[in-house]
Amino acid sequence: MPDREHIVTSYDRDLETIQAMIMKMGGLVEAAILDSANSLERRDEELAERVRLGDKAIDELEERVNEECARLLALRQPIASDLRTVLTVMKISANLERVGDYAKNLAKRTSVLVQMNPIEGASSAIRRMAKTVEGMMKDALDAYIQRDPELAQDVRMRDHEVDQMYNALFRQFLTYMMEDPRNITACMHLHFIAKNIERMGDHVTSIAEQVIYLSTGEMPEDNRPKGDSTPYETVELD
Amino acid sequence: MNDMRMVEREVDTKEVKISARDCQVYYGDNHAIKDVNVDIEDKTVTAFIGPSGCGKSTFLRCLNRMNDTIDICRVEGQIKLDGEDIYDPAVDPVQLRAKVGMVFQKPNPFPKSIYDNIAYGPRIHGLAKNKADLDVIVEKSLRRGAIWDEVKDRLDKPGTGLSGGQQQRLCIARAVATEPEVLLMDEPCSALDPIATAQVEELIDELRGRYSVVIVTHSMQQAARVSQKTAFFHLGNLVEFGETGQIFTNPQDPRTESYITGRIG
């Protein structure tokens, strides 16, 4: 990434604008992840409502990013690292928007779950999982701004932890459901939440991969550790 | 992934047409081209890009010994066309230029009829036995220059009466009339409007099926559009030479990156 400025300074301003929008989106999405998980743990319907409403701002930002990127492509015809900047901004904004949707979905389920008996240990485990994903997101965005492929690679590797947390929760929910069918509704909701947070981790991984593409010009090799096959095993009822 | 590359961007052959080794050019004491090594492939469009004064036109002119006409210009090193040294004393530069044709920045038709513009080269090189032969060559060349339909009814009119874009295509037709193997183009579109530019670019792409084309251009977008290989020159050095898609998405040298992205370099 050349740190020299363009001869045409308004070009630099355009590129800075779209990246600033990504950072703003990133901040909103990080907050949405933590708030939605906290709303679940504290059974705080008001906070859940705020997360649901806040998703609109994220969606609007994504739309603006797309408009600005289309405009920049048409007017400046960026190439080389400038082109990679625009391409990665577009992909990252799509990833962030999806993570925002998952947080919104989590908040919706909070409103349902507060009507039921809590499942022991579930919501604190989910909060820890969300916290891990949020930390990865923060590092991925830092890596983006600093054009740091090593930090991005580190984020990619950490997705494995999220997968393991999901698998552990999957087993736990199965056990609860087998123990007492009255737990099924709550556990189904909790399982969707865990699955959605696991998907958030995948989107963060994709952001990290974009950072690597942006700074090196090449997508990383697929050499990440894969999770176990827990969700694909069948369970026999005694 | 390479198999998925868009079809028209495929390089048909890997055969080297022109190879330059340790090429140096001096204008008096000025060392204008430094240690240039490059292999230009057959049936490929190669673009030379770089800021003004970087040596790209100078190097292009070495490829058909146009620099011979400049007294203070001295060329060292080796430039081979099909394995034969073009600076060998036994090589006749006039014959060489029939094989390595050239098109210039400003359309420069002869102040003669359209027909004679094309027929001039084949006549002096004795490529036609009679008038009928010559007629065939003229029509074929004008068709290859993608201008036949526009001029077929006015072959006896002066070439200078055509529009700028037509004149340039006439010059390209004139260059291909002697059946060259390589076509050198020095900013062929810089004096043309966007429509005429698009027509010339389309023509360049067609010519690629037959010739090795080397184009010097100040328009980066044009280099990206028409070429399969791109060479970036800077201060007399060949900084980077590679597949055009790679040069424009992921250049390896920071000087290339700075230049093509419009940064101070």
What is the pLDDT, as a whole number, of residue B3?
A: 46
| B53 half-sphere exposure, CB direction, 13 A CA radius | 3
Length of chain B: 265
Percent of chain B surpassing pLDDT 90: 74
What is the pLDDT, as a whole number, of residue A92?
A: 98
In this structure, the number of other CB atoms found within 10 A of the CB of residue B206 comes to 12
Q: Give a yes or no: residue B183 inside a domain.
A: yes
Domain residue limits, chain A: 9-232
**CATH code for the domain of B203:** 3.40.50.300
- Determine, for residues B264 and A7 on separate chains, whether the beta-carbon distance falls below 8 Å: yes
A8: distance to nearest CA of chain B, Å? 8
- Determine, for residues B260 and A80 on separate chains, whether the beta-carbon distance falls below 8 Å: yes
Residue among A79, A217, A218 minimizing CB distance to B261? A79
pLDDT-derived band of residue A35, with 50, 70 and 90 as boundaries? very high
- Determine, for residues A5 and B264 on separate chains, whether the beta-carbon distance falls below 8 Å: yes
Mean pLDDT of chain B: 90
Apex A174 CA angle, A173 and A177, nearest 5? 85
Measured between beta carbons, the chain A residues lying within 8 angstroms of B257 are 2, 80-81
Residue of B nearest to A77 (CA): B221
What is the pLDDT, as a whole number, of residue B217?
A: 94
CB–CB contacts below 8 A, A to B: 45
- Determine, for residues A6 and B263 on separate chains, whether the beta-carbon distance falls below 8 Å: yes
- Determine, for residues B258 and A2 on separate chains, whether the beta-carbon distance falls below 8 Å: yes
> Does the pLDDT of residue B4 top 50, yes or no?
no
Residue B130 sits at the chain A interface (C-beta within 8 Å): no
Residues of A near B (CB-CB distance < 8 A)?
2, 4-8, 11, 77-84, 217-218
> Does the pLDDT of residue A100 top 50, yes or no?
yes
Residue B258 sits at the chain A interface (C-beta within 8 Å): yes
What is the pLDDT, as a whole number, of residue B236?
A: 94
pLDDT higher for B133 or B5?
B133
| Per-residue pLDDT tens digits for B78-129 | 999 999 999 999 999 999 998 999 999 899 999 999 999 999 999 998 888 9
What is the pLDDT, as a whole number, of residue A61?
A: 96
Mean pLDDT of chain A: 92
What is the pLDDT, as a whole number, of residue B265?
A: 58
CA distances from B226 to B48, B114, B230 (A): 12, 27, 10
| Per-residue pLDDT tens digits for B34-70 | 999 999 999 999 999 999 989 999 999 999 999 888 8
Residue of B nearest to A84 (CA): B249
- Determine, for residues B261 and A81 on separate chains, whether the beta-carbon distance falls below 8 Å: yes
Q: Give a yes or no: residue B4 inside a domain.
A: no
| Per-residue pLDDT tens digits for A41-93 | 999 999 999 999 999 999 999 999 999 999 999 999 999 999 999 999 999 99
| Per-residue pLDDT tens digits for A120-155 | 889 999 999 999 999 999 999 999 999 999 999 999
Q: Which residues 139-198 in chain B show a CB within 8 A of chain A? A: none
A176-180, A224-228, B225-229, B233-237: least confidently modelled range: A224-228
> Does the pLDDT of residue A101 top 50, yes or no?
yes
Q: Amino acid identity of B242?
A: G
- Determine, for residues A80 and B220 on separate chains, whether the beta-carbon distance falls below 8 Å: no
CA distances from A216 to A5, A69, A84, B251, B258 (A): 19, 21, 10, 10, 16
A225: distance to nearest CA of chain B, Å? 24
What is the pLDDT, as a whole number, of residue A235?
A: 61
What is the pLDDT, as a whole number, of residue B10?
A: 57
- Determine, for residues A4 and B249 on separate chains, whether the beta-carbon distance falls below 8 Å: no
CA B172 to chain CA centroid, Å, is 10
Residue of B nearest to A214 (CA): B250
Cβ burial of B68 (10 Å; 0-12, 13-18, 19+) is: middle
- Determine, for residues A11 and B262 on separate chains, whether the beta-carbon distance falls below 8 Å: yes
Average confidence (pLDDT) over B66-76? 90
Q: CATH number of the domain at A9-232, please?
A: 1.20.58.220
> Does the pLDDT of residue A238 top 70, yes or no?
no
The count of domains in chain B is 1
> Does the pLDDT of residue A228 top 80, yes or no?
no
Q: Amino acid identity of B63?
A: L
Q: Which domain holds residue B177?
A: 15-260
Three-class secondary structure assignment of chain A? CCCCCECCHHHHHHHHHHHHHHHHHHHHHHHHHHHHHHHHHCCCHHHHHHHHHHHHHHHHHHHHHHHHHHHHHHHHCCCHHHHHHHHHHHHHHHHHHHHHHHHHHHHHHHHHHCCCCCCCCHHHHHHHHHHHHHHHHHHHHHHHHHCCHHHHHHHHHHHHHHHHHHHHHHHHHHHHHHHCHHHHHHHHHHHHHHHHHHHHHHHHHHHHHHHHHHHHCCCCCCCCCCCCCHHHCCCCCC
pLDDT higher for B191 or B51?
B51
pLDDT higher for A235 or A146?
A146
- Determine, for residues B257 and A2 on separate chains, whether the beta-carbon distance falls below 8 Å: yes
